[in-house]
Amino acid sequence: MKDASSKLRTATRRAKSDVANKLVSMFLHELSRKVSKEFGMTVESEEYSQRVRQFFGNRCPYCSEELSADGAVVEHLNGMNRYRAGLHIPGNVLVACRRCNSEKRRDDAAKTLSLARTGWESFLSHDGSRCVAGCRTCGYWRRVWVDKDERGRKLLENLGYIRQFHAQFSGSVAAVSDLENRLPSLLTRLYTDCQDFAEREIRALLGSVEAFNRAGPGYETRAGQLPRA
């Protein structure tokens, strides 16, 4: 069992990754604005909001549960990260329940997918027949639909339903189709370069602080000791 202090160590290691992931997200949002402008429709437009409402009603596209005002979140079919390289463009953005949005992150964050090509299709493909025992996503769907036959039927239905919605936006899909194979490798390089830059800058700044600490009047001579208040 891990002790409580392990959370501190994990958070410290995760800090540089958070910065790199933020940079990847910023790039994807900038690219999304460019693609949306060329396509002639944005996710924020009333036209797009109306099409989402009309198609899905007020239900989660994954589990079909009715959405509550405080339980609905913006959902990207393909997550906006360096592995899935999803964009904030029409056809990739809908509204889902907070529970499905959270559970789907395991597929979105996976470097490679074995069940399907996209994050959302992979999420809806965890029917319990192809995953290892103990798969958390398969377990999630077993809790949503206890009956095995119903579960298999609903997963297939919702896969087809979302595919129908996605097909309505072939223009925006075509606009990024030539990037689908190239973006993950480009984003991985951006992510790695950002982490390397952060490490170099942190070491340089720490060196400057230590040098200032040793040289400044009224400070402890021990390297790294910060000034006392």
What is the band of 126 on the pLDDT scale with cuts at 50, 70, 90?
Answer: very high
Q: What is the mean pLDDT of the chain?
A: 84
What is the band of 229 on the pLDDT scale with cuts at 50, 70, 90?
Answer: very low
Residue 168 lies in a domain: yes
Mean pLDDT of 114-130: 94
Please check the confidence at residue 12 and state whether its pLDDT lies above 60: no
Q: What is the pLDDT of residues 144-171, one digit of tens each?
A: 999 999 999 999 999 999 999 998 987 7
Q: Does this model's pTM top 0.85? A: no
Which is more confidently placed, 194 or 96? 96
- Residue 59's DSSP bridge partners are 66
Residue 9 lies in a domain: no
Count structural domains, the chain: 1
Question: In the numeric block, which tokens belong to residue 216?
Answer: 């400044």
- What per-residue confidence (pLDDT) applies to 177? 67
Using a pLDDT cut of 70, give the percent of the chain over it.
Answer: 82
DSSP-assigned states of every residue in the chain: ---THHHHHHHHHHHHHHHHHHHHHHHHHHHHHHHHHHHT--TTSHHHHHHHHHHHTTB-TTT-PBPPTTTEEEEESS-SSTTT---SSTTTEEEEEHHHHHHTHHHHT-SS-SS-SSHHHHHTT-SSSSSPTT-HHHHHHHHH--SHHHHHHHHHHHHHHHHHHHHTTHHHHHHHHTTTTTHHHHHHHHHHHHHHHHHHHHHHHHHHHHHHHHHSTTS-SSTTPPPP-
100: containing domain: 15-176
Residues 109, 83 contacting (CB under 8 angstroms): yes
Please check the confidence at residue 189 and state whether its pLDDT lies above 80: yes
- What per-residue confidence (pLDDT) applies to 185? 82
Mean pLDDT of 197-220: 74
Residue 189 lies in a domain: no
Residue 229 lies in a domain: no
Residue 134 lies in a domain: yes
User: What distance in Å separates the CA atoms of residue 164 and residue 159, rounded to the nearest whole number?
Assistant: 9
CA distances from residue 120 to 93, 125, 167 in whole angstroms, order as listed? 11, 9, 14
User: What distance in Å separates the CA atoms of residue 44 and residue 90, rounded to the nearest whole number?
Assistant: 9
- What per-residue confidence (pLDDT) applies to 183? 82
Residue 97 lies in a domain: yes
Mean pLDDT of 6-28: 73
Mean pLDDT of 204-211: 80
Q: What is the pLDDT of residues 47-104, one digit of tens each?
A: 999 999 999 999 999 999 999 988 999 999 989 888 888 889 999 999 999 999 999 9
Which is more confidently placed, 182 or 12? 182
Residue 142 lies in a domain: yes
Question: In the numeric block, which tokens belong to residue 195?
Answer: 């982490």
User: What distance in Å separates the CA atoms of residue 103 and residue 73, rounded to the nearest whole number?
Assistant: 13
Residue 4 lies in a domain: no
* Type of residue numbered 60: C
User: What distance in Å separates the CA atoms of residue 22 and residue 16, rounded to the nearest whole number?
Assistant: 10
